Structure 1
């Protein structure tokens, strides 16, 4: 763990200033809570490193991610009201963490846009006493999963993490995660909110929510240009023009985030 001695040269006002800078840089990606918290956390980590703030990452796993027999997830309220089921289901969550004056401070804009959170405050947002908490070095981007021994279709955290390198870097998963969140939030504002204002029929709004309010469906359609049980060829043909337009927006956002990340690394 980091020691308070390592960062004692940082005043509280400096920590708050860095917090505000990271929030500004990450906006609006973090306001889409459906997924890609690891991308938000990694961008925050790069900015902390830019300011030479020693830090690590704190990960929390729901029982469904480490127990053979559990399906329990973190149930998170969707502040945007676009989750198809009314709430967001997380298997894990992650954020950067520093230690300052004997305090653990977690930079997580999903839950606080005004100040860092204590570990107790942060874990309280998971809405369950059941979890596994892991601290890693800041360069760890995501974790490995392995098939369950009892249920081959179930994926479990195997205790290992990996940095951005190899296929992860080549496929630009970091940039695409940030772009997915930003594009989905824009679609929420321009598609779902507009449909609600125009009092569109409930069936159409529900279809928009499944497309935009589910990270799995959204990335299937816009990042992977693929299909699944809900995002069928028929569904995508019905919404062809909408999907075609926002695929272009998504691709533009990938390039925008790619350039922003390069600027941070070069600084």
Structure 2
């Protein structure tokens, strides 16, 4: 296993030619240490993971792509929810895996707006491109043609398991930061809305620290702390609703937008449909009531109320479907 660790370390270093930067996000911060200790999550090391048979990995990928009911054709968002569901399936299949995370500069600093970028193969996004602050997918160790490599399982981008170098490359951001973490980690904390504890204010006459809640309007720059899918996130059905959003949005695309997308007489309607459903921020502000900095035009919402209500029913049905699937996977 030590040999495996050394080989993978060399693989990580070799990525320097692509310019992406490897970041060590092992749980060093208090939040992650406490979570890891309470939940029994070991600190990430490559030696934890078995080298899987490549054919077995291909079969698992094909199952995820074709038979898992995961919607990979709406890549606008919810990669963390897809990765969580894929991880559940992989655990059922006894495939040793972890997750690769890639972060845009905009997630790492206040002073950059640069994001990850992939083409919009469906021509569904209002801008014609898909931008991410981060992307995540399950990852395995396997030998390909006798050579050990780190393979990413991401049907939203590829039709087969792919090396992590190519996975990073297609996201078109040489300034991104990536890391590998145990599959148990679901998502990460951002500074907007977070509480800050200023322990340096402690002195002999002070028994409490100064707690400050940062404003929600701050950029969603990550803190470096990750968390599991547990507690209120489970009861609030974050994964199930995220998967249902993807199902519902892609059904809208195939049923409502695709039949008119090339009709010049429907150009204004196409534009409005893309605004409502081609932007995941807008979709989630409508159906999950997530706050959005870019408010939707109330007149646009009223104009399309009937179809928005129709797809709300579809969203509710798809959520119920994923509740059942998650229960079965557990």
**TM-score of the pair, normalised by structure 1:** 0.91
Partner of 1:174: 239
Partner of 2:108: 66
Tell me if the contact between 1:220 and 1:228 (Cα under 8 Å) persists in the aligned partners.
no
Partner of 1:105: 151
Partner of 1:124: 169
- CA deviations on 1:173-201 (whole Å, 9 max, x unpaired) are 10011110111011011111122365543
2:68 is the counterpart of 1:22: no
Distance 2:290 2:100 in 1: 32
Distance 1:124 1:93 in 2: 12
Partner of 2:186: 141
**TM-score of the pair, normalised by structure 2:** 0.74
Length, aligned pairs only: 262
Structure 1 pair 129/158, CA: closer, same or farther in 2 (3 Å)? same
Moved more, 64-73 or 192-201: 192-201
Structure 1 pair 132/228, CA: closer, same or farther in 2 (3 Å)? closer
- CA deviations on 1:130-175 (whole Å, 9 max, x unpaired) are 11112111011111100499x9621211101111112211210100
Aligned-partner SS, 1:201? helix
Distance 2:93 2:292 in 1: 42
5+ long unaligned stretches in structure 1: none
Tell me if the contact between 1:144 and 1:157 (Cα under 8 Å) persists in the aligned partners.
yes
Aligned-partner SS, 2:260? helix
Aligned-partner SS, 2:190? strand
Partner of 1:185: 250
Distance 2:131 2:54 in 1: 34
- CA deviations on 1:178-230 (whole Å, 9 max, x unpaired) are 11011101101111112236554322110000001000001111222888744
Aligned-partner SS, 1:141? strand
Tell me if the contact between 1:45 and 1:96 (Cα under 8 Å) persists in the aligned partners.
yes
- CA deviations on 1:106-133 (whole Å, 9 max, x unpaired) are 10111112x2110111001111211111
Structure with max Cα Rg = 2
Runs of 4+ in 1 over 3 A off after TM superposition: 25-28, 197-200, 225-230
